[in-house]
Amino acid sequence: MELIRGRQNIHAVHRGCVATIGNFDGVHRGHQRIIAQLAEAASRHQVPSTVIVFEPQTAEFFRPAEPPARISLLRDKYRLLAAAGVERVVVLNFNASLASLPAEEFVAEILVQRLGVRELVIGDDFRFGRGRSGDFALLEAMAGASGYVVQRAEPVNIDGERVSSTRIRTLLDAGEFAAAARMLGRKYRIGGRIVAGKANGRTIGFPTINIPLRRRRSPLHGIFAARVHGLATAPVNGAAYIGTRAVINESTVVLEVNLFDFSRDCYGERVEVEFVEKIRDELPFADFESLRRQIAEDVAAARQSLTAADGYEINA
């Protein structure tokens, strides 16, 4: 799959495609339906399928102090979109210049002039351009004169609700991992490369691996029964923590995992943490001894959770 970063890197060779536009956070089953429609259009027109995304995501730009939790990083999106069969991803830098671009100019410059879009697959709720003035109706009104057609994206409903990134964030925050997985089409994982931590866990008998979240806001907080993929041929069980290190007055949100029955040095390795069950929310601790006692209880609860069953299944 080809990755194009920035509208300045869209060249003449990229003209002629079918496209869809959005944040695609999570690349969930709703997005997967859009990609299937896009693939059908690409085959019909004999041009590449193209997904246009924004970095940062639009709400992260407009609400930097209170952004929505990020389900997937750009790296995750790239991997998931490639696996879904997308041929090109265009990443537009969402900055003040792009935010102030009138919707009609976005269509004329980016979609028509630069990309030469033949067909667009767009949802009813998609908004773009200055003041969010662009929508499905505008794209449809400009279609004839601009040489493209517009196809309405078909919504997906699971468990009686429309699949959306917002709904998945709510489910993850509540620890409803089976329901979130049904909407995602896969079990939820957070990936990253293991880095050196401050070794505070080791001093109280619970060493952890540390994985940078690289998000302005995490979709999860608390203690979880988890499985770590990428360290061995089989997943390694553990107890994961996402939160702040309040006991040492550190406000940065971290992801740490105490691995069960595993002691190999694994700094620098890339892993994915699968969240199986939420054990509890974050709690305040006055000292390391009270923290140690609680972690012992959390580890026991996580072990019990992971050995009681193989985890939840994802229903179609």
Closest CA to 24 of 63, 50, 61: 50
Task: Specify the CATH number for the domain of residue 108.
Answer: 3.40.50.620
Q: How far is CA 213 from its chain centroid?
A: 12
**Percent of the chain clearing pLDDT 70 (strictly above):** 93
**Same structural domain for residues 217 and 102?**
no
**Same structural domain for residues 229 and 130?**
no
Task: Say how far apart CA 112 and CA 116 lie, in whole Å.
Answer: 5
The domain boundary residue, chosen from 158, 173, 195:
158
**Same structural domain for residues 42 and 118?**
yes
Residue-number span of the structural domain to which 151 is assigned: 2-158
Specify the pLDDT at position 297.
Answer: 94
- The pTM of this model reads 0.92
**Same structural domain for residues 204 and 87?**
no
Task: Say how far apart CA 254 and CA 246 lie, in whole Å.
Answer: 11
Task: Say how far apart CA 62 and CA 107 lie, in whole Å.
Answer: 21
Establish if 170 belongs to a structural domain.
no
Query: Which of 79-83, 154-158, 196-200 is predicted with the least confidence, judged by mean pLDDT?
Result: 196-200
Q: Which residues contact 92 (CB under 8 A, 6 or more apart)?
A: 6, 7, 52, 53, 54, 55, 98, 110
Establish if 176 belongs to a structural domain.
no
**Same structural domain for residues 92 and 236?**
no
Task: Specify the CATH number for the domain of residue 302.
Answer: 2.40.30.30
- Are residues 210 and 267 in contact, defined by beta-carbon separation less than 8 angstroms? no
**Same structural domain for residues 135 and 33?**
yes
**Same structural domain for residues 22 and 141?**
yes
Specify the pLDDT at position 158.
Answer: 95
Give the number of other Cβ atoms within 10 Å of residue 123's Cβ: 20
**Same structural domain for residues 33 and 137?**
yes
**Same structural domain for residues 212 and 106?**
no
Task: List, in sequence order, every beta strand (DSSP E) within the chain.
Answer: 2-5, 17-21, 49-55, 88-93, 117-122, 149-152, 157-158, 161-162, 189-193, 209-211, 222-229, 236-245, 250-259, 270-280
**Same structural domain for residues 51 and 114?**
yes
Give the number of other Cβ atoms within 10 Å of residue 16's Cβ: 15
**Same structural domain for residues 135 and 206?**
no
Query: Which of 37-46, 182-191, 194-203, 301-310 is predicted with the least confidence, judged by mean pLDDT?
Result: 194-203
**Same structural domain for residues 20 and 99?**
yes
* Number of domains composing the chain: 2
Above 70 in pLDDT, residue 46?
Answer: yes
Task: Say how far apart CA 145 and CA 112 lie, in whole Å.
Answer: 10
